[in-house]
Structure 1
Amino acid sequence: MLIDSHCHFDFSCFDHDRAEVLNRCKKLSIDTIVIPGTQASLWQKQIDLCHTYPQLRFALGLHPYFLNSFEPIYLVQLSHLLNHYQDKVVALGEIGLDAHNYVDWKLQLHVFEQQLLIAEEHKLPVILHHRNSHNELIRTLKAKKFTQGGIVHAFSGSLQDAQTYIDLGFKIGVGGVITYSRANKTRTTIAQLPLNSLVLETDAPDMPLMGKQGQRNSPEYLPEILESLLVLRSETKQEILQACFFNVRASLANF
């Protein structure tokens, strides 16, 4: 069985065929899809979808990309929802830092730090977003003495960065980037990491796979990411399948 540890299945581009996509996923043995939170306005939709479709799990959080509309009350609402759904929510996320967007850096850092404190209070792992921000993310995790671990989503970076996250209790998200031959640095890093640190993800509808540029990405393409991972690793398909499945369950809550 497969778990897509990161898929924005609540986004509107899936509204017209969500059930059909899930049926195709079932036929491909994709057992579970985790929907990370991005903005307060979509939290209830995530929760409702997970009540409707048993394949789905949700995380709740404020993504750095959407913070231009941030209101402090969102953090209060987030903490309340995490408490109310403590037996269902799998993580606090997607949270992090993004050096490529137009949101004020100090605001990003403030909201990230506050969400780490909330996650620690609720004893929840986090799903981390990074973009040219590994050094600041790692510095902040250490400064806040964050202990709950989680997943570094769509990892791209050095072996040293990956190992630091692993030492801090995180798993490494492996997505469509490894289907691109030009992504030598990330592919080389993923090939060298311990198998018990890896989880699979699509980040659908974003991060299209090689050969599918310009198309909507989909959780049903997760087996293709697995096939690319097989090329990079020495383990058997069954070993990788089993490890990635159990690694997600070990890194998130309520599985």
Structure 2
Amino acid sequence: MTEAPSDPMLPLLVDSHCHLDFPDFQGQVPDLVTRARAVGVTRMVTICTRLRQEPQVRAIAEAHAGVFYAAGTHPMQAAEEPMATVDQLVALSAHPKFVGIGETGLDYHYTADSAAVQKDSLAVHIEAARQTGLPLIIHSRDADDDMAAILTREHAAGPFSCVMHCYTSGQALARTALDLDFYLSMSGIAAFRRSTELREIFAGAPRDRILVETDAPFLAPPPYRGKRNEPAYVAHTARVGAELFGMSQADFAALTSANFDRLFAKAAGAPAARAAAG
């Protein structure tokens, strides 16, 4: 089981957020990982969105070099799932491949009726991020004002690190997040032709705060838009990111990998991560 790309000249990329346990990928994960490595995506973080499914997500990470995982309760499931506890999340963080808390956050697009429960769940995840030192992975949709207020208040009460995953919100929330030293993650949406305003937000952010991701199986970038996404396709989003920042693809890959290593320091320190970098 090797982690090296098939072409040693390929830029090494990280898919910082995907969902390899979803039914779309059942029985196909080894092939997905192989295809990702073939285009230089040597590391990925697979995200558990319901804590009762954590064992399955953990097993995927354990089975594949270069695959790490995070776990939490997605805000859209917050009203359906048992409330996570800080102790529960802290206990999960003992696993060597557990590298982040979440995804958690607020989603008022379809589930605004559960806003109060979402906020309670978010508070639990924030405290777990503080106690573990692992980065918080935030999902925010149609909740910019509440999200900005909560993150600002909570960070003042006790700092934590954070990535705004699949960032598609407005300029104001981006500025709040960046002022708190958080990171913005670029998904395939940033590569969509009509995402001009979103690309402008990324272009105005410090280069050392940018990550790339797929959110697979969702949000495939062109030329795969409308199809099932997979970790290999992060290379297409990274190509758009490189153009946006006026960088070569190799330099942008190195930049976003270094940013990932800074934020997800536990993954960067893992033996498999060092092997990939070498």
2:141 matched to which residue of 1? 131
Residues 189-219 of structure 1 deviation map (CA, whole Å, 9 limit, x = unaligned): 1122221111110000011223434321111
1:69 matched to which residue of 2? 80
Q: Which of residues 119, 126, 141 is equivalent to 1:109?
A: 119
Q: RMSD in angstroms over aligned alpha carbons? A: 1.7
Quote how far apart the aligned CAs of 1:161 are: 2.5
1:99 matched to which residue of 2? 108
CA contact (8 A) 2:141 2:169 kept: no
Residues 232-253 of structure 1 deviation map (CA, whole Å, 9 limit, x = unaligned): 2222323211110000111113
Residues 85-127 of structure 1 deviation map (CA, whole Å, 9 limit, x = unaligned): 2x43211010100011235110001111121112112222101
Moved over 2 A (4+): 72-80, 157-161, 210-214, 235-239
CA distance in 2, matches of 1:108, 1:253: 27
CA distance in 1, matches of 2:72, 2:181: 19
Relative to structure 2, which stretch is displaced further, 137-146 or 120-129? 137-146
Secondary structure of 2:14's aligned partner: strand
CA distance in 2, matches of 1:236, 1:73: 42
CA contact (8 A) 1:148 1:169 kept: no
Secondary structure of 1:216's aligned partner: coil
CA contact (8 A) 1:63 1:95 kept: yes
> Percent of counterpart pairs with the same letter?
23
TM-score by length of 2: 0.85
CA contact (8 A) 2:101 2:134 kept: yes
Do residues 227 (structure 1) and 239 (structure 2) align? yes
Quote how far apart the aligned CAs of 1:187 are: 1.1
Do residues 169 (structure 1) and 181 (structure 2) align? yes
Letter in 2 for 1:5: S
CA distance in 1, matches of 2:265, 2:242: 27
Secondary structure of 1:72's aligned partner: coil
TM-score by length of 1: 0.93
1:89 matched to which residue of 2? 98
Letter in 2 for 1:28: V
Quote how far apart the aligned CAs of 1:178 are: 1.6
1:4 matched to which residue of 2? 15
Corresponding residue pairs, total = 253
Residues 112-165 of structure 1 deviation map (CA, whole Å, 9 limit, x = unaligned): 112111211222210110101122112112222341212110112334432321
Relative to structure 2, which stretch is displaced further, 199-208 or 101-110? 101-110
Letter in 2 for 1:81: L
Quote how far apart the aligned CAs of 1:75 are: 5.2
Secondary structure of 1:6's aligned partner: strand
Do residues 218 (structure 1) and 230 (structure 2) align? yes
CA distance in 2, matches of 1:222, 1:63: 22
Q: 1:242 to 1:12 in 2, by over 3 A?
A: same
Unaligned stretches of 5+ residues in structure 2 = 1-11, 269-278
CA distance in 2, matches of 1:25, 1:221: 8
Letter in 2 for 1:169: D
